[in-house]
Structure 1
Amino acid sequence: MQLETYISDLLYRYDCVTVPEFGAFLTNRVSAKVHETTHTFYPPKKVLSFNEQLQNNDGLLGNYIAEVEKIPYEVAITKIAKQVKSIKSYLIEGETIQFEHIGELILNADGKIVFDPSSHINYLTDAFGLSHFSSTDIKREVYKETAEVIVEKAPIAFTPEKRSNNGWIKYAAAAVIVLGLGGYFGYNYYNNSIESHNQLAQEEANAQLDAKVQEATFVISNPLPAATLTVEKQSGNYHIVAGAFRIEANSDKKVKQLRAKGYKARKIGANRYGLHEVVYASFETRVEAQRELYKVRREHNRDAWLLIKNLD
């Protein structure tokens, strides 16, 4: 089982992928930036990090492997535990663990895992197809100084002969002003005539409309009572998953069972593997979702897990 392949797939969709009894790979979005020395432009991306303290199983990795390999969830968890045990033994022996497209893991002198993230892949889907590029520095001050030197060496001067031919320009300018004023007053007169005509037509149309309304006025003596409907619409990007079903009729049955137990269950559509997902409920914040997830695992289903997905 190529564990790093499954982790890499999930990092495109989630900010945290936990490997049970080992640690969690985290992503943090950073904005686009420009390197001041090399003048290189870098697109926005997700920066990877590793937290050895987050080892509790949240069900995300196990459920994903179970879906892809078509195996039971318990078998997927067993396979993960076996590979984690092997990775830890290699780390203790001083080996460097290479996770393709993710990074390298090694133990330091204190026995802590040190993670060196890979820079060959960007897990931010919004930046898909964008790559870094370099631009040469624009030296504006050099061009400005050059222009000033040219002006000093070649000043512009008008000769008396050229100035003497400016008389016809004055007459042309006066003609342009006269024509412009005439056009302006003519345009205003035309607009005022059009507005008066439109206003008379509008008043006539309003009078005809009032007459029609008075002729068509009627009273309903027995109106129907007003109906009030209450529709509860769930929202939020944090969903507690109850299961995923190949046959949609089974997902409908699961929703009815959960609602009978008091949960606000619903279907959120099919995932990219064609499985119809059913959730206990959806929440606006991660804190609310985590609190409900612990309750669901304690009271109903220990295999429930948290899905972060935008349904808009």
Structure 2
Amino acid sequence: MQLETYISDLLYRYDCVIVPQFGAFLTHRVSAKLNETSHSFYPPKKTLSFNEQLQTNDGLLANYIAEIEKIPYLVAVRKISKKVKSIKSYLTEGETIELNNIGDLILNKEGNINFEPSHHINYLTNAFGLSQFTTGKITRDVYKETVEALESEIPIAITPEKRASTSFAARPYLKYAAVGLIFLTVGGLIASNYYGNQIDNHNQIAQEEANQQLDARVQEATFIIDSPLPAATLQVEKMTGNYHIVAGAFRVEANSNKKVQQLKEKGFKARKIGINRYGLHEVVYSSHTDRVEALNALRAIKRTHNRDAWLLVKALD
């Protein structure tokens, strides 16, 4: 029994999953963080921890296993107990237990279980598609200080003689030229506005005439279809759902297209669902809206076709 698979499924929906007579796996929500030293942004996530003190059976895990495997509840409890005894025996012998997508368990010198969570999976469904990224350092130049430093080294002075030589008093013809320029500018604005208004009035009149002619033609026209074409109905099956059975992920897109074609030839409703956070093209056997249906299909695929297939919970755009 792949106990870690059932625990992983439940961690997406619950904050605490208790394994009877063993301990509890807990999730804690962590907000998005910004590391100012490395300029790295980390999206929100759920971190995992393990509490060996919580061992009382709350029925969550056993009921889920009973539902998925279609077995009685007591049989599921016995299967969990058997698996826990096996894990404890390995831990006692000093071995490290690797729980896929959850983390590693090892027994310390005091006889307690140490847990090292897996960091490559995020159980916060709201953060699907978000990944860590690093930005470059932003440098700011203080131009004001640079200008002040230049002014202190190279002072700018204007002598009265130069100022007088460039004034309107020294060159009286400049005053007349300025007045003339003002009149030309005002006259140009008035003429431009008048011309623009004339164009707008012309366009409006032309538009009204065109509308009247169009209305007259529409009222006079009669449309008769003697032999209408039969209506065609196309049924296109659209794959929906947030539960996807992953067949593989490929760095080269051509390989992912080839994989989709191979799976379709074997009768699967295969397709590509995009590129994951590692830049790989993901190919799925099928997508489902019902979680139980997806898990049943996953078990059948693992049993008959691919033992490495796994379930991805992701809302596609």
Q: Indicate the residue corresponding to 2:122 in structure 1.
A: 122
Q: CA deviation at 1:154?
A: 9.3
* Ranges in structure 1 where 5+ consecutive residues have no aligned partner: 176-269, 275-312
Aligned to 2:21: 21
Q: Which secondary structure does the structure 2 equivalent of 1:25 belong to?
A: strand
Q: How far did residue 50 of structure 1 move? A: 0.2
AA matched with 2:125: T
The alpha carbon displacement at 1:152 in A equals 7.6
- C-alpha separation in 1, matches of 2:117 and 2:100: 10
Structure 1 residue identity aligned to 2:39? H
In the alignment, the residues of structure 1 paired with residue 166 and residue 28 of structure 2 have an alpha-carbon distance, to the nearest angstrom, of 69
Give runs of aligned pairs for residues 269-308 of structure 1, distance below 5 A. Answer: 272-273=291-292
**Aligned pair 1:84/2:84, yes or no?**
yes
Distance in structure 2 (CA, Å) of the matches to 1:85 and 1:18: 15
Deviation at residue 142 of structure 1 after TM alignment: 6.0
Q: 1 CA distance for matches of 2:149 and 2:20?
A: 71
- How far the C-alpha of 1:272 sits from its partner, in A, is 3.8
Per-residue CA deviations over 1:182-233 (Å, capped at 9, x if unaligned) read xxxxxxxxxxxxxxxxxxxxxxxxxxxxxxxxxxxxxxxxxxxxxxxxxxxx
2:38 is equivalent to residue 59 of structure 1: no
Matches within 5 A, 1:24-173: 24-141=24-141
The structural deviation recorded for 1:38 is 1.1
Q: 1:101 and 1:144 mapped to 2: Cα distance?
A: 54
- Taking the TM superposition and a 5 Å limit, the aligned residue runs for 1:254-265 are none
What is the distance in 1 between the residues matched to 2:156 and 2:2? Answer: 76
Over 3 Å counting, the alpha-carbon distance change for 1:133 and 1:82 in structure 2 is: same
The 3 A distance-change label for structure 1 pair 139 and 71 is same
TM-score, normalised by the number of residues in structure 1? 0.50
Separation of aligned partners in 2, 1:168 and 1:93: 103
Displacement of 1:144:
6.3
> Could you say what secondary structure the match of 1:13 adopts?
coil
Corresponding residue for residue 8 of structure 2: 8
- Counterpart residue identity of residue 137, structure 2: D
Counterpart of 2:19 in structure 1: which amino acid? Answer: V
Structure 1: distance between partners of 2:64 and 2:181: 84
Deviation for aligned residue 1:119? 0.5
Task: Please tell me the root mean square deviation across aligned C-alpha atoms, in Å.
Answer: 3.6
TM (norm. structure 2) is: 0.49
> Runs of 5+ in structure 2 lacking a partner?
169-173, 187-288, 294-317
Cα offsets for 1:22-42 (capped at 9, x unmatched): 000000101100112211100
1:95 aligned partner, one-letter code:
E
1-side partners of 2:180 and 2:78: how far apart? Answer: 94
Deviation >4 Å, runs of 4+: 141-172
TM-aligned CA distance change 1:157 to 1:92, over 3 Å: farther
Q: Distance in 2 between matches of 1:120 and 1:152?
A: 58
Distance 1:137 1:53, change over 3 A: same
3-state DSSP class of the match of 1:140? coil
